[in-house]
């Protein structure tokens, strides 16, 4: 069986965003892994207008070229690490929009979460957990949460504490385990 393919989805497109440094940290840690291949998927590279499909995503009747391209991208992965800021007690609008565009491409896959914000982005993760449950995405318990007060100098220069390393390793272990199991589920559904 080939290695699992995991997307690290950078869920902020804001100018001067802190998320790029956080996603780079995740990718650096992920390169040490041998059970999965991790790739950065930056939403800034996938400009999606506000959801503009006429049919609900669960119909799978995508008409826009941007939707078809996004569907092909997401469909190619076994799992996801969502790197999310916390805006107004939730995730970013651009990440919510990107998730809402699709349905079956998310089904029976696994997800983990890395967040940042004044309270570590915990509320953004809680919202993502609810959204992804509806899309049949199994989300792992372990998460990594960075505080703007303790892991960023002047709220903008990312300097994570080493305490997060062990949490990231556990997140990767859990994610790869679930992604592998759900790959088998998808194979059984397709048979």
- Predicted pLDDT of residue 2: 73
Contacts of 72-78 with CB under 8 Å at 24 or more apart are 73/7, 73/41, 73/46, 74/7, 74/102, 74/105, 74/106, 75/105, 76/5, 77/5, 77/6, 77/7, 77/39, 77/109, 78/4, 78/5, 78/6, 78/36, 78/109, 78/110, 78/179, 78/180, 78/182, 78/183
Question: What DSSP state is assigned to residue 90?
Answer: B
Stated pTM of the model: 0.96
Calculate Rg over the CA atoms of the chain: 16
For residue 87, the model assigns a pLDDT of: 95
**Could you read off the pLDDT of 101-158 as tens digits, one per residue?**
999 999 999 999 999 999 999 999 999 999 999 999 999 999 999 999 999 999 999 9
DSSP secondary structure letter of residue 59: G
Please compute the mean of the pLDDT values over residues 80-90 and round it to a whole number: 97
Give the model confidence (pLDDT) of 144-168 as tens digits.
999 999 999 999 999 999 999 999 9
What does the alpha-carbon distance between residue 66 and residue 55 come to, in Å, rounded to a whole number? 15
Asked if the model's pLDDT at residue 1 lies above 60, the reply is: no
Buried residues in 1-14 as b, exposed as e (16+ CB within 10 A): eeebebbbbbbbbe
Which structural domain, as residue segments, surrounds residue 180? Answer: 4-190
Convert the pLDDT of each residue in 27-62 to its tens digit.
999 999 999 999 999 999 999 999 999 999 999 999
SS3 state of residue 109: strand
Banded pLDDT at 88 (limits 50, 70, 90): very high
**Which DSSP category does 2 fall into?**
P
- Which CATH number is 64's domain given? 3.40.50.360
CA distance 122 to 60: 32
Across residues 76-80, what is the average pLDDT?
98
Q: Indicate the number of domains in the chain.
A: 1
Distant-in-sequence, close-in-space partners of 34: CB < 8 Å, separation ≥ 6: none
Quick one: CA dihedral 154, 171, 80, 26, positive or negative? positive
Mean pLDDT of 164-180: 97
């Amino acid at each position: 069986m080939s290695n699992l393919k995991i997307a690290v989805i950078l869920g902020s497109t804001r100018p001067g965003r802190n998320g790029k440094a956080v996603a780079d940290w995740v990718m650096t840690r992920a390169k040490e892994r041998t059970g999965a291949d991790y790739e950065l998927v930056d939403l800034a590279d996938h400009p999606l207008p506000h959801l503009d499909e006429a049919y609900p995503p669960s119909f799978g009747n995508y008409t826009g070229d941007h939707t078809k391209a996004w569907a092909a991208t997401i469909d190619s992965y076994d799992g996801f690490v969502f790197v999310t800021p916390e805006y107004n007690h939730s995730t970013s609008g651009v990440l919510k929009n990107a998730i809402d565009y699709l349905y079956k491409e998310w089904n029976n896959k696994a997800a983990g979460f890395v967040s940042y914000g004044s309270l570590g982005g915990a509320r953004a993760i809680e919202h993502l957990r609810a959204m992804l449950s509806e899309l049949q995405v199994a989300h792992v318990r372990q998460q990594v949460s960075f505080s703007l007060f303790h892991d960023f100098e002047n709220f903008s220069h990312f300097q994570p504490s080493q305490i997060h390393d062990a949490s990231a390793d556990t997140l990767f272990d859990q994610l790869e385990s679930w992604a592998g199991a759900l790959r088998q589920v998808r194979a059984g559904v397709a048979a």
